[in-house]
Chains A and B, each alone.
Chain A
Amino acid sequence: MDAIVRFCRKLSMLFTRERFHSDLEEEMAFHREQQAQALQAEGRTPEEAKYAATRQFGNAGRLKEESLDTVGFRFETAVQDSRYALRQLGKNPGFACTAIVILGLGIGASTAIFSAVNPILFEPLPYPGASRIMMISYISDDGSRIAQTFHTYCELAERNRSFETLAVADPWQPTLTRPDRPERLDGQKVSADYFRVLGVSPLLGRDFQPADDVLNGPKVVILSNGLWRRFGADNALIGQQVKLNDDSYTVIGVMPATFDNVLVSSANAWAPLQFDKGNAASTQAREWGHHLKMVGRLRTGVSITQARSDLDRIARTPLPDLPRPPWASLEHGVATNSLQSELTSGVKPALLAVLGAVLLVLLIACVNVTNLLLARGAQRRGEFAMRAALGAVRPRLIRQLLTESLLLAVLGGALGMMVAQFGVRVLVALSPSELPRLNAMRVDGTVFAFAVGITVLVGLLVGLIPALSASSRDLHIAVQQSSQRTAGGHQFMRRTLVVAEVALALVLMVSAGLLFRSLQRLFAIDPGFDASHVLTMQVQEAGHRFDADSKRALFFSQALDAVRQVPGVANAAFTSQLPLSGDFESYGIQFEVDKSGDGDNGFRYAVSPSYFETMHIPLRRGRLLNEHDMPGAAQAILISESFAKRKFPNQDPLGQRVRIGPDIGHADRPWGAVVGVVGDVRQASLALSDSDAFYTSSTQWSWVDNVQSLVVRTQGVAAALAPSIRQAIWSVDKDQPIVRVATMDNLLATSEAERRFVLILFEAFGLAALALAATGIYGVLSGSVTERTREIGVRVALGATPSDILALVVRQGMTLTSFGVVIGLSGAVAASQALVTLLFGVSRLDPVTYLGVIALLAGVSVIACWVPASRAAQVDPASTLRAE
C-alpha cells in the first residue's frame, strides 16, 4: 500500500520536475546565503563568509543528484545517461562506427551460427512429446547400426511392452506423371502408424489406417503441404487421383505446412508400406531385407533404459513360431536412441566446433572494442575528472560509462541482426545437404532472444574494464595534469588485452589451418577413377510398360546407344550405384572356397560393360566385362583389388567360384566366377577406404535395377553436354525422369561438403580474428607512440637514428605478438582436441600448420607495427621539445 502511494507521489513529481529542480536550487541558495550572513555577523569578510558557507554546505552538485535519485525513477537517469552517451558517440563518429561495426559483425555472426545450431543441438524436434520418439536400429555382426527388416519390426511391435506405437519407413521415389514433364518425387512408404509415432495428424483428410497397410491394399497417398500447394491448394484434392509410377493413387490427406519430416526432409508423398506379414518363412522375400528405418513412441513414464532392456529381452528369446534368418537373428540386439540424438550425433562435433569458433570471434571483437574504449577513456580523463569534481560519485560514473558501452552494443546488436538475417541465408546456401533440420534454420524468437542476450552481455563485458579504469581514484591527479602526459596503468591493461587478442586469433587460425590441410589431404586422395570430364545423371524408369526385366534392360541399352551418338561423348555407361554420390548399397558375396558361415559384404555394382573404360578404373588382373556377359552365359564377376588381396592372399582370385546377392545359399543357382580384378574405388567418402566391392554386368544380376546412374566421359567441358544428353534419353522415352545431373568433379567436391562447410566458416572466422588482432596491435602502438612523442623526441635529440626508433616501436609490438603466440599455442593445442573428428591425414599437432600460422601472424603483426613505428621515426625533436 505504502509502495503504491510512494509510486504515485514519484509519478506526480515526475511531471513537476522543472519545479523540483528550481525549488531545490532556491532553498539551497537560501541556506548558503543565510549561513554566509551569520558568519559575516561574526566578523568575517563577505568573501570569507561566502567561501566558508559553501564549504560547510558540501558538494551541491552531488547533493542535488542524490535528491533527484531519491524521488526520481531509475529510468530517468538511464535516459539522461543515454542522451549523454549518444552525444559522446556523436562527438567521435569514427570511433563509434568502428566499434559498432566490429560488434555488429561479431554479434551477427554468432547469431547466424546460433540459428543454425539451435534447432539441431538445443531445440527438441518439432513434435509433441519429442523426447519420447526413439529410433531403433539393428546391430549387425560388425557392430554397425543398420536398417531393420520388416519381420523384425513385426515381432518387436507384437512383443514389446514399452512403446505406444512402432512404425517403419522405406525410402520411396515415385515418378509423378504430369502433362508436361515427368517428375521424380521424394517420399516414403510407411507403416500405418508412422505419423502417430511422430504425433502429427494430417491437416486435411485422414491419416493411414491399418486397413490401408495390407498386402495389395488400396493405392492411397498423403501429400506434403508444399506439393498440395503446387496442385493449387485445393481442398477438393482429397479423394482425387494422382498418377504415381503409372498407377492411380487416391489422395487421402495433406500434411500441415508446419510438419517437418525430419527422417527425410525432402519427402513430399507418403504411401502405405503394404508388405506381406505372412511370408516370414520365405527368407528370400524383401520382408527379410534390411532397408527399413524404425521409429517408436515410448509409453509415458517408460524410460529409454527400460525400453532398451525390454527390446533386449525380446532379442534374446526368439519364439519358435517367429523364426529368424541368420542375418536378422537379433544376435547383437538393437540400438535404441532418441530420434533427436540419432539425427544430430553425426554433425554435433562439427557444429560445436563452429559454435566455439564464432564465440571466439565474438570474444576477440569484445576485446578489441574494450581496447578502443580504454584508449578513448584515456583521452577523456580530463572530462571524467571534471565530472567527479562537480560531484559525480564513482558508481554514477561507472553507470554512465556502462550506458555508453551498452549503447554501442545495442547499436552493434541492431546491425548484428541485419548481418544475421543475411548470414543465415548464406549458411543455408553453404550447408551440406546432409545437415539435419536445414529448413528450421532461421531467425526466430529464440534466436532473437539469444541476440539480445549476447548484446547486453557484450555491452557489459566491453564496458566494465574501461569504466573501472576511467573512474579510478587518481582522478584528481588527472584534473591537474594535461591528459597527454599521463601514460598510466591503462597501457598495461591495453597491452594485456592485445596479447589476449593475438592468442585467441592464433587458436582460430590454427584450427582453420588444420582443417585446410585435412581437406587438401583428402582431395589429394586418388578416388580410384578419373573424375575429370565425366558427366553423371540418374535415370529412372517407371511405369507398367517396364514391369519386365527385359523391357527395362532394353530401355537402358537404347538410351546408352542414343547417348553415344551425341557429339562430344567419348564413352558412356550405366551403373547401379555411383561412387561418392551418396549411393551406398552393399550385398552379400560368398566364395565357394569360403566354407564358413555367412560370406562377406561388398559394394555391389551392376554395370554396363563399358563402365570401367568410361570411368578409367584400371584393370589389375584378368579381363574386364564385355558384351558376351549376358543372361544365359556364365556369370562373370570382377572384384576390387584390396578385396582380392584380403580374401586370396596366397591364391589366384581368378576363376574362384562365387555366388552374389540373393543367390547366396541357393544350391540350385549356378556359380559365377571371378574373371578379373580392378582397382579400388572410394564409394562412401574419400576418407573411407573400405573397398570390398564386386561388379557384374547389369543383365547378369538377379534383376535389372530401375534406377541407374549414367556416366559419360566427354571430350570437352562435361557440364556443357548435359542438355543434349538429356534430350537423347528422352528421345527413347520422354516419360522417364532424370535427376541429380552433376559432373563427377562436382560430386567429388560435395562428398566432403561437411568438412568444406566447416572449413569455409573457420577460414572466415580466422581471417576476421587476424584482422581484429592486427588492428588491436596497431591501435595500442599508435596510442603508445602518441604518448611517448616527447620521450622519442629526446631520444632523437640525443642521437637515436630513425631506424633505432623504428626498431624500438616494432620491438615493442612484436613483444606483444610473441606473448600472444606463446599463450595462444597452448590454447590451440587444447582446441584442436575438439576438431579431431574433422581432421583427416593431419595430426592435430601438425608442425607445418602451427609454424605457418605463426609466420602469418608475425608477418601481419610487423605490418601493423610498421605504420606507427614509421610515424615515430619521423618525430621532429625540435618541435616536440618546444611543445613542452
Chain B
Amino acid sequence: MPGTLDMLILRTLARAPLHGYGIALSIKRLSEDVLTVEEGSLYPALQRLLLQGWVKAEWKKTETNRRARYYSLTAAGRKQLGLELSQFEQMMAAIGRVLQDA
C-alpha cells in the first residue's frame, strides 16, 4: 500500500529517535517479518519525510561510539501520524464491518 511505509516509519519514531538501520530492524520485528521490503527503500522515504518536515535528522554517536544519523519525530510529524492512524482505523473498521456483514 503506498504511504504505508511512511506511516510505519512515523509510528516507529513515535517511541524513540532511531537511525536508519534501527528503523529497519524495528519495523521487521514489529511486523514479525511479514513486511520484508527492500531495506534500502527506507532512505528515499526518509528523504520524503524530511522534506515534508515530519521528521528531523541529526548525527549522533551510537552506543558503540560510531557516528550514525538519528531521525526523530517533529510536532508536525506527530500530528500527521495521528491523522494517518485515525484514517487507517476508520478504514479498518469499515473493512471489518463489510466482512462481518458477509
Q: Which residues of A contact B (CB under 8 A)?
A: 5-6, 9-10, 13, 23-24, 26-28, 30-31, 34-35, 56-60, 63-64, 66-67, 69-71
Interchain CA distance A67-B49 in the complex, whole Å: 11
* Contact among A5, A24, A63, A64 with B53 in the assembled complex (CB-CB below 8 Å): A5
Interchain CA distance A26-B52 in the complex, whole Å: 22
Evaluate contact between B38 and A66: CB separation under 8 angstroms. Answer: no
Known: A27-B69, A31-B21. Is A57-B40 also a contact (CB below 8 A)? yes
Known: A31-B24, A57-B38. Is A10-B43 also a contact (CB below 8 A)? no
| Band of interface residues on B | 20 to 34
Evaluate contact between A24 and B43: CB separation under 8 angstroms. Answer: yes
Chain B residue nearest to A56 (CB atoms) is B39
Q: List 8 A-B contacts (CB under 8 A).
A: A6-B53, A9-B53, A23-B69, A27-B20, A28-B40, A30-B19, A30-B66, A58-B41
Interchain CA distance A378-B73 in the complex, whole Å: 50
Evaluate contact between A67 and B47: CB separation under 8 angstroms. Answer: yes
Known: A30-B20, A30-B21, A34-B21. Is A70-B41 also a contact (CB below 8 A)? no
Contacts of A56 in B (CB 8 A): 38-39
Evaluate contact between A26 and B67: CB separation under 8 angstroms. Answer: yes
Residues 40-83 (chain B) with a chain A CB within 8 angstroms: 40-41, 43-44, 47-48, 50-53, 59, 66-69
CB distance from B33 to the nearest CB of A (A): 12
* Contact among A26, A58, A67, A71 with B69 in the assembled complex (CB-CB below 8 Å): A26
* Contact among B24, B44, B51 with A9 in the assembled complex (CB-CB below 8 Å): B51
* Contact among B40, B47, B68 with A60 in the assembled complex (CB-CB below 8 Å): B40
* Contact among A34, A35, A59, A70 with B47 in the assembled complex (CB-CB below 8 Å): A70
Interchain CA distance A301-B19 in the complex, whole Å: 73
Interchain CA distance A837-B32 in the complex, whole Å: 81
Interchain CA distance A656-B38 in the complex, whole Å: 108
Contacts of B43 in A (CB 8 A): 24, 27-28, 63-64, 67
Q: Kindly list 6 other residue pairs between chains A and B, CB separation below 8 angstroms, not including A31-B20, A35-B39.
A: A5-B53, A6-B51, A9-B53, A24-B43, A27-B19, A56-B38
Contacts of A24 in B (CB 8 A): 43, 47
Contacts of A23 in B (CB 8 A): 59, 69
Which 5 pairs from chain A and chain B are nearest by CB? A58-B38, A58-B40, A66-B44, A63-B40, A31-B21
Evaluate contact between A70 and B39: CB separation under 8 angstroms. Answer: no
* Contact among A26, A27, A57, A71 with B39 in the assembled complex (CB-CB below 8 Å): A57
Contacts of A9 in B (CB 8 A): 50-51, 53
CB distance from B90 to the nearest CB of A (A): 23
Name which of A5, A27, A59, A69 has the most chain B CB atoms within 10 A of its CB.
Answer: A27
Interchain CA distance A30-B69 in the complex, whole Å: 9
Evaluate contact between A30 and B68: CB separation under 8 angstroms. Answer: yes
CB distance from A237 to the nearest CB of B (A): 69
Contacts of A35 in B (CB 8 A): 21, 39
Known: A27-B43, A59-B40. Is A71-B50 also a contact (CB below 8 A)? yes
Interchain CA distance A58-B40 in the complex, whole Å: 6
Chain B residue nearest to A37 (CB atoms) is B64
Contacts of B40 in A (CB 8 A): 28, 31, 57-60, 63
Name which of B38, B40, B44, B51 has the most chain A CB atoms within 10 A of its CB.
Answer: B40
Contacts of B67 in A (CB 8 A): 26, 30
CB distance from A67 to the nearest CB of B (A): 5
CB distance from B5 to the nearest CB of A (A): 13
CB distance from B19 to the nearest CB of A (A): 7
* Contact among B39, B44, B48, B50 with A31 in the assembled complex (CB-CB below 8 Å): B39
Residues 3-49 (chain B) with a chain A CB within 8 angstroms: 19-21, 24, 38-41, 43-44, 47-48
Chain A residue nearest to B24 (CB atoms) is A31
Interchain CA distance A154-B52 in the complex, whole Å: 77
Evaluate contact between A71 and B51: CB separation under 8 angstroms. Answer: yes
Contacts of A13 in B (CB 8 A): 51
Chain A residue nearest to B38 (CB atoms) is A58
